[in-house]
């Protein structure tokens, strides 16, 4: 999928492809009438969901970066897909609404700094010292925007703790499990950060691969 990408924007990579593939493989695309894409970036995942759903699927995309919002809106126009792109932090722009499916590719890379960056391209990947600054918030909030019987797919690196994601989604009332994974070579960000990851025991010395994982959470049909 060829998309417009403004300077400084996160380029869709292996995690985006894995999330879209899991959405198709899990059989969610056929039945979803409302889809939310959290952390949309260029809008790649939102565009894929809109194309899979045809004219019957309403797709909403959210990003905290105004540049990402402009980019995703431009791509939705160029690809003639009806995607509502909203500006805001995680789920805040859609609180009070519910969706059949939530797709999320949040920042998850462990970083030397405690807080998330407020500007710059690193905003798309840096997520605190353990990589869970956004993941934990997202997992706790997800049930509030899922309809009964709805599902969420979250893609992340194993470096940021898959077990923690499973536990947090479970504590929030969802049935959670890993549904897809792949091993990928480090890109430029992780390659530059390898000494920090090694020092923190997150990777073995000399390791330059990470495991990407898609976690699925399902809300019980009787939950309100």
Q: What is the CATH number of the domain that holds 103?
A: 3.40.50.150
Stretch 35-41: mean pLDDT: 96
Asked if 12 contacts 46 with a C-beta cutoff of 8 angstroms, the reply is no
For residues 174 and 149, give the distance between their C-alpha atoms in angstroms, rounded to a whole number: 10
In a domain? residue 62: yes
Pair of tokens at residue 70? 């402009």
Neighbours of 40 (CB within 10 A): 30
Domain that holds residue 29: 14-219
Q: Give the model's confidence band at 9: pLDDT under 50 very low, under 70 low, under 90 confident, else very high.
A: confident
In a domain? residue 189: yes
What's the Cα-to-Cα distance from 100 to each of 104, 143, 147, 166, rounded to whole Å? 13, 11, 6, 20
Per-residue 3-state assignment (H helix, E strand, C coil) for 142-188: HHHHEEEEEEEEEEEEHHHCHHHHHHHHHHCCEEEEEEEEEEEECCH
In a domain? residue 173: yes
pLDDT of 54 above 90: no
Instruction: Let me know if 222 is exposed, middle or buried by CB neighbors in 10 A (0-12, 13-18, 19+).
Output: exposed
Number of domains the chain contains: 1
Where b means 16+ CB within 10 Å and e means fewer, 46-80 reads bbbbbebbeeebbbbbbbbbebbbbbbbbbbeebe
pLDDT of residue 120: 80
Pair of tokens at residue 127? 């997520």
pLDDT in tens, 129-155: 999 999 999 999 999 999 999 999 999
Q: Residue written as tokens 């939102």?
A: 46
Asked if 42 contacts 9 with a C-beta cutoff of 8 angstroms, the reply is yes
pLDDT of 1 above 70: no
Q: Out of 16-20, 28-32, 96-100, pick the least confident.
A: 28-32
pLDDT of 224 above 60: no
122 DSSP 8-state letter:
G
What is the pTM (predicted TM-score) of this model?
A: 0.93
pLDDT of 179 above 90: yes
In a domain? residue 1: no
In a domain? residue 9: no
In a domain? residue 4: no
pLDDT in tens, 192-222: 999 999 998 999 999 999 999 999 999 998 7
């Amino acid at each position: 999928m060829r998309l417009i990408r403004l300077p400084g924007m996160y380029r869709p990579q292996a995690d985006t492809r894995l999330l879209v593939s899991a959405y198709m493989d899990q059989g969610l695309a056929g039945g979803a009438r409302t889809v939310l894409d959290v952390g949309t970036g260029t809008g790649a995942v939102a565009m894929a969901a809109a194309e899979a759903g045809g004219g019957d699927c309403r797709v909403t995309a959210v990003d905290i970066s105004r540049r990402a919002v402009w980019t995703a809106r431009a791509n939705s126009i160029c690809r003639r897909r009806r995607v509502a792109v909203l500006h805001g932090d995680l789920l805040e722009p859609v609180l009070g609404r519910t969706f059949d499916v939530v797709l999320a590719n949040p920042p998850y890379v462990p970083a030397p700094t405690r807080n998330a960056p407020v500007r710059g391209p690193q905003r798309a990947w840096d997520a605190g010292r353990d990589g869970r600054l956004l993941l934990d918030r997202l997992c706790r909030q997800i049930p509030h925007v899922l309809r009964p019987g709805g599902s969420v797919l979250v893609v992340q690196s194993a470096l940021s703790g898959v077990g923690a994601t499973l536990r947090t989604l479970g504590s929030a009332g969802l049935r959670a499990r890993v549904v897809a994974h792949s091993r990928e070579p480090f890109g430029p960000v992780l390659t530059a950060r390898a000494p920090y990851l090694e020092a923190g025991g997150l990777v073995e010395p000399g390791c330059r691969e990470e495991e990407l994982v898609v976690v699925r959470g399902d809300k019980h049909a009787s939950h309100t």
